[in-house]
A = this chain, B = another copy of it.
Amino acid sequence: MSDTNESRLAGLNLQLPPTPKPAGLYRPAMIVGNIVYISGHAPLRPDGSRVTGCIGADLDLESGKLAARHSGLAIIATLRNEFGSLDRIKRVVKLLGLVNCTTTFQQHPAVINGCSELFVQVFGPENGVGARSAAGANSLPGNIAVEIEAIFEIV
């Protein structure tokens, strides 16, 4: 009945990846007061594999955008593991999206939209859109295609 994050997620029939494991000595999520800081997340597929490659060379824009969506799904998997329910999430505050790409690539915002469009679907058109920066990286851990970190407000 109610239009909650969990009900929207259920309605989307998405397949979440396994709970992301840290790639080093850090926590996937860190809570301070009403804020949760989410570590940089790789594009994790439901089978646990990661989308790798350089956008503009190995991958095209659409593949990059799908990778950003996979990073968003991985962030959702981390949030559900951390809080039990996505209904603890009040809103997206800020995203930083780093794109593994060539020096001539220019469509970083369109890539990271893959994550932002997912967050609108899950958190709603008002609470799913926050501040954002998108930039190129000459390399990312394990050659992942995108890495997205996030700040959410929680209740």
Q: CB-CB contacts of A11-31 with B at 8 A, as 1s and 0s? A: 000000000001111111110
Q: Please tell me if A103 contacts chain B, counting CB pairs below 8 Å.
A: yes
* Contact status of A132 and B26, CB under 8 A, knowing A108-B141, A139-B101, A139-B108: yes
Copies of this chain present in the complex amount to 3
List residues of chain B with CB within 8 A of the CB of A63: none
Contact of B135 with A147 in the complex, beta carbons under 8 Å: yes
Other A-B pairs beyond A26-B129, A32-B34, A106-B141, 15, CB < 8 Å: A25-B113, A26-B116, A26-B130, A27-B131, A28-B131, A29-B131, A30-B130, A98-B133, A102-B139, A103-B139, A106-B142, A109-B141, A133-B149, A136-B137, A136-B140
* Contact status of A30 and B94, CB under 8 A, knowing A40-B132, A134-B24: yes
A-side interface mostly? mixed
Partner of A135, one of B34, B95, B103, B141: B141
Contact of B131 with A38 in the complex, beta carbons under 8 Å: yes
Q: Report A89 CB to chain B, min CB distance, Å.
A: 13
24 sampled A-B residue pairs with Cβ under 8 A: A24-B113, A24-B134, A25-B132, A26-B131, A29-B131, A30-B93, A32-B93, A32-B153, A37-B131, A37-B151, A39-B133, A96-B149, A98-B135, A101-B138, A101-B139, A103-B139, A106-B139, A106-B142, A106-B143, A108-B141, A131-B149, A136-B137, A136-B139, A137-B138
